[in-house]
C-alpha cells in the first residue's frame, strides 16, 4: 500500500477523525471531514466500498469506514486529477469554476497548493435523486440505494465552512444565470459536464464567463456528440487523458 496513503490514514486517526493531511511537495494539505461529505463518498462512489473495507482490515485501522472511504476516493480520483492537470494549470490563476464539483475536494486541494488566494465557484445540484446515466452504456449506469437522498449543495456548503474555505463559493445550478458577470481563468468539470449530461446545459454560461486567455478542462462522453460539440466551441482543443467512458479535453481560444 502507498506510504503516503498510510500516512494520511494515520493523520486522520491522530486527529481523532477530524481531518487528514497529505504531503504535496513542500506543502502539507489539511482537509477536515464532515459526516455528510463522508456519506456522499460512501453513497455516490459505492463501487469503491469493497476497497475501503479491505484497506480497513489490512491496516487493522480503528478509523471509521466512511473516513477511509473519503481518503481512498481522494487518492484514487483527486490525486490523479491533480497530477494530470499540474502542467496545464497556471500557478497565477485567480478565478476557477468547477461544474459538478461533487464534494469539492479538488478545489480544497488546489486552494491550498496555490501560493496566493484565488476565488472558486463550485456548481452543484440541490438534490440528486439518482446517479445519472452514462449515455448508451447501461451496464455502467449507477443507481443510489432506495433510502438514500443526496443534497450536494448543502453538503458542499458545510464542508467549505468546516474547512474555513471562505473563498470557495457554492452555486446552485438553478441560479447559474445570476453569475453571468463572473470571469474565470480556469473552468473545470471532472466526470460531469459533457459526460453525465449534455454540454448544452452550461455552454452559454461558459462562453460568457471564460476569460479570453482562460482554459476549459472537461471529461467528454465517448458515446454521444459531446466531443464534436466541444471541438466546435474552441480554436484549440487538446486531448489530455482517457478513461473507459470518457476523454479529458482542454479547450482554449473560444471561436
Ligand atoms: C461523477 S460526479 C463527479 C464529482 C467530482 N467532480 C469528481 O470528479 O469527483 C458528478 C457530479 O455532477 C453533479 N451533477 C449532476 N447533474 C448536474 C448538473 N445538472 N449541474 C451540475 N452538477 C451536476 C452530481 O451531483 C455529481 O456530484
Q: Where are the domains of the chain?
A: 1-83, 88-255
The pTM of the full predicted model, rounded to 2 decimals, is 0.95
Question: For residue 63, what is its C-alpha cell?
Answer: 478509523
Pocket test for ligand 1, best of 37, 69, 175, 192 (most atoms within 8 A of CB): 192
CA dihedral 194, 37, 142, 75 (to 10 degrees): 80
111 close to 100: Cβ distance less than 8 angstroms = no
Question: For residue 149, what is its C-alpha cell?
Answer: 437522498
For domain 88-255, the CATH superfamily is Vaccinia Virus protein VP39 (3.40.50.150)
Indicate whether residue 194 lines ligand 1 (CB < 6 A).
Answer: no
Angle subtended at Cα 211 by Cα 208 and Cα 212, rounded to the nearest 5 degrees: 105
CA of 250 to the centre of ligand 1 (A): 18
Give the span between the Cα atoms of 195 and 110, in whole angstroms. Answer: 23
65 close to 53: Cβ distance less than 8 angstroms = yes
Taking residues 35-52, what's their average pLDDT?
92
CA of 192 to the centre of ligand 1 (A): 5
Q: Please tell me the residue having the least CA distance from ligand 1 atom 14.
A: 100
Indicate whether residue 196 lines ligand 1 (CB < 6 A).
Answer: yes
- The answer to whether residue 4 scores a pLDDT higher than 90 is yes
| Bridge partners for 128 per DSSP | 150
pLDDT in tens, 46-87: 889 999 999 999 999 999 999 999 999 999 999 999 989 988
Name the residue with higher pLDDT: 21 or 83.
Answer: 21
**Residue 171 is inside which H or E element, if any?**
strand 168-172
Give the span between the Cα atoms of 65 and 193, in whole angstroms. Answer: 30
- The answer to whether residue 132 scores a pLDDT higher than 70 is no
188 close to 161: Cβ distance less than 8 angstroms = no
Indicate whether residue 100 lines ligand 1 (CB < 6 A).
Answer: yes
Indicate whether residue 125 lines ligand 1 (CB < 6 A).
Answer: yes
Q: What is the phi/psi pair of residue 238, to 5°? A: -130, 135
pLDDT at 130: 65
By percentage, how much of the chain surpasses pLDDT 90? 82
Indicate whether residue 160 lines ligand 1 (CB < 6 A).
Answer: no
Indicate whether residue 33 lines ligand 1 (CB < 6 A).
Answer: no
Amino acid at each position: 500500500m502507498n506510504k503516503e496513503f498510510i500516512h494520511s490514514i494515520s493523520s486522520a486517526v491522530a486527529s481523532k477523525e477530524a481531518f487528514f493531511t497529505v504531503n504535496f511537495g513542500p506543502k502539507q494539505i489539511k482537509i477536515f471531514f464532515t459526516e455528510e461529505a463522508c456519506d456522499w463518498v460512501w453513497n455516490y462512489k459505492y463501487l469503491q466500498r469493497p476497497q475501503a473495507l479491505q484497506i480497513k482490515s489490512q491496516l487493522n485501522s480503528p478509523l471509521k469506514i466512511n473516513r477511509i472511504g473519503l481518503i481512498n476516493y481522494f487518492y484514487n480520483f483527486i490525486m490523479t486529477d491533480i497530477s494530470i492537470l499540474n502542467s496545464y494549470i497556471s500557478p497565477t490563476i485567480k478565478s476557477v469554476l468547477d461544474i459538478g464539483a461533487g464534494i469539492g475536494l479538488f478545489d480544497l486541494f488546489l486552494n491550498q497548493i496555490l501560493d496566493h488566494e484565488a476565488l472558486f465557484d463550485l456548481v452543484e445540484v440541490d438534490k440528486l435523486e439518482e446517479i445519472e446515466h452514462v449515455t448508451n452504456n447501461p451496464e455502467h449506469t449507477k443507481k443510489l440505494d432506495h433510502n438514500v437522498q443526496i443534497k450536494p449543495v448543502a453538503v458542499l456548503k458545510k464542508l467549505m465552512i468546516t474547512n474555513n474555505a471562505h473563498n470557495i463559493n457554492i452555486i446552485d445550478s438553478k441560479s447559474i444565470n445570476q453569475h453571468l458577470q463572473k470571469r474565470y481563468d480556469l473552468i473545470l468539470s471532472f466526470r460531469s459536464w459533457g459526460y453525465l449530461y449534455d454540454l448544452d446545459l452550461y455552454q452559454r454560461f461558459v462562453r460568457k464567463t471564460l476569460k479570453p486567455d482562460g482554459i476549459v478542462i472537461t471529461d467528454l462522453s465517448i458515446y454521444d456528440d459531446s466531443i464534436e460539440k466541444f471541438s466546435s466551441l474552441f480554436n484549440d482543443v487538446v486531448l489530455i487523458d482517457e478513461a473507459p467512458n470518457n476523454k479529458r479535453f482542454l479547450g482554449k481560444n473560444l471561436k
